[in-house]
Amino acid sequence: MVGALGKHLALIGFMGAGKSTIGREVARRTDRPFLDTDEEIEKRHGPIPELFKRGEPEFRRLEEEIVAEAIAGPDSVIALGGGAVLSVRTRERLQARAFTVHLEVEVEDAWERVRGSNRPLAQSADDFRRLHESRRSVYAETAQAVANTVEQVLLSTLGIRVGNGERPSVEGPAALVADEHVLALHPFEAGGRTLTVPAGESAKTGDVVERLLAELELGRDGTIIGFGGGSTTDVAGFAAATYLRGIDWIAMPTTLVGQVDAAIGGKTGIDLDQGKNLVGAFHFPQQVVIDPTFLATLPKTERRNGMAEVVKTGFLAGDEVWALPEEEMIRACAAFKAGVVLSDPYEREGRRTILNLGHTFAHALETGSGYRVSHGEAVALGLLAALRLSAQPTDVVEEVLQPQPVQADPDAAWAAMKRDKKGEGVFVLLEAPGRPILTTVSDDDARTALNGLIRR
C-alpha cells in the first residue's frame, strides 16, 4: 500500500513542532477525523501537568492506551505527544497501521514556542535541549517521512517529491517507459531496459500496451518508470497494473498537466475507439518524481493546457496558486490534489468528484470536436461555463487562460454531455472560491452554457 492509503496518518515529533496545528489542517484537507492524543488524555483524565505529578510512568501508560485505541479506529490524522513513540508497543502499532511523518523542528524554535508554558518537560532550557537530542533517533527510526509544513505532509502521503533535479530512487530491476520525443530532449536511463511510446494520446492504445507487455523483462520485484506527459504515465501505469497481475511503478511526469494533475492519484488507462480512458485501473505509483526543469522545453500550447488545471485547482482550493513562482505553484497544486485523493482514493466517497470542475463541459467539447480541441483548451472553456453557472466572476480564466470559442458539433457535444459518467445533469460548481459543490443543472441552462463555448 502506497503512503497513507488505507492507513492512519500519524504525526510525531518534539514539543513545539506544530503537530496539532498542522494535523488539524491536514485532516481538513484530507476529510479525515483528527485526534490529538494529548487533548484526548486531558479530556478523559485531567490536565497533563497534574498527571505528571503522579509520575511519568503512569502518564505513559495512559498515553499508550489512548494511542492504541486511536490506531484501532477508522483511518484518521493522529497527532501524538512528543514522547508517545518511546513506547515499543506504540511504535509497533504505528508500523502496522499508520503512515508516520516526523515533523522536524529546530530545538531553539521549539523552545521559543513552549517556554513559559505549564508543560512538565519544558521548564528548563538545558533539560529541554538534552531531551530534544535524545529523542531524535527514535523519531527517525519510527517515521516514513519528514516534513515541517502542511504541504510537505500532504505530498509525502502519496510519495510525491518536487524539486529541480529530482530523480527516482529504485531498488532492484527497472524498466523505463518513455515518450520518444521527451527522451530525445532529456536523455535518461533507469538502469534497465528502455521502451519508448509515441508522444501524446497515441500512446494510449491496446496495441502499444500489448507491445510493452511483450517486451518487458521484469519479475514481480521489478519497477516500471513512466517518463513523459500524462498519456505516457497513463499507459506506463496501466502496463504496471496488468503485468504479472501488478508490479510497482514510478511516475516521472514531464509536462505541467502531468506534474499538477495527471500523474497524481493512481488513475491509469488507455483509450478505445468508443472513447478516452474506457479501460483502466487504479494503481498508485510508489513515487511521483517531479522535476520542474523539464518544463523548459515544453511548448507554449502544452503549458497553457497545464495552466488550465492550475487555475481549476486554485478555484477549488480558494488560493491564487496561478500567481506563485513555478515550483511553488506545482507544489501547491500537487499537495491539494494529494489531499483530495487521500480523502477518496478510489472515487467511492464522492469528494474526489470536485476535481471535475469544468470537465463535464470540457469532455463534451473534446468529443464534439472529434478531439481536435486540446484537453487544456477544453478545460479552460469548461471553467468559464462552470463559473458562469455558479454566478462567479470569470476574469481570472479570461486573463490567465484567454479561452476562445471553438469549432465543434453542438449536437454531438450535447449528446456526450448527456452520457457523462458523473450522471445526467450533475455538475461541479462553486458557491465561492474554495467551496465547490455537486449540484444539478437544468438541461436548458446546461445547453445554453455549452453553446456559449462553441464558435458559430
Distance from the first to the final alpha carbon of the chain: 50
pLDDT at 393: 96
CATH of 158-298, one of 3.30.1360.30, 3.30.479.10, 3.40.640.10, 3.40.50.1970: 3.40.50.1970
Domain boundaries, the chain: 8-149, 158-298, 300-456
pLDDT at 425: 72
pLDDT at 445: 94
Contact partners, residue 23, CB within 8 Å, separation at least 6: 11, 34, 36, 77, 78, 79
Give the chain's residues under pLDDT 50.
none
pLDDT at 423: 54
C-alpha to C-alpha distance for 282 and 272, rounded to whole angstroms: 18
Distances (CA, A) of 359 to 17, 125, 397: 40, 55, 14
pLDDT at 278: 82
- The percentage of the chain sitting over the pLDDT mark of 70, rounded to a whole number, equals 99
| Residue-wise pLDDT tens digits, 10-55 | 999 999 999 999 999 999 999 999 999 999 999 999 999 888 888 8
C-alpha to C-alpha distance for 261 and 347, rounded to whole angstroms: 16
pLDDT at 109: 94
CATH topology of domain 300-456: Dehydroquinate synthase-like, alpha domain (1.20.1090)
User: Strand 435-440 relative to strand 426-432: parallel, antiparallel, unpaired?
Assistant: antiparallel
Phi, psi (degrees; rounded to nearest 5) at 188: -150, 135
Q: Is the dihedral of CA 398, 404, 408, 410 positive or negative?
A: positive
Q: Quickly count: other Cβ atoms within 10 Å of residue 410's Cβ.
A: 15
User: Hey, what CATH class is 8-149 in?
Assistant: alpha beta
Would you say the CATH fold of 158-298 matches that of 8-149? Answer: yes
Distances (CA, A) of 147 to 13, 101, 110, 158, 276: 10, 7, 15, 13, 37
| Residue-wise pLDDT tens digits, 317-356 | 999 999 999 999 999 999 999 999 999 999 887 889 999 9
- Please classify residue 228 by burial: count the beta carbons closer than 10 Å to its beta carbon, then call 0-12 exposed, 13-18 middle and 19+ buried: buried
pLDDT at 421: 56
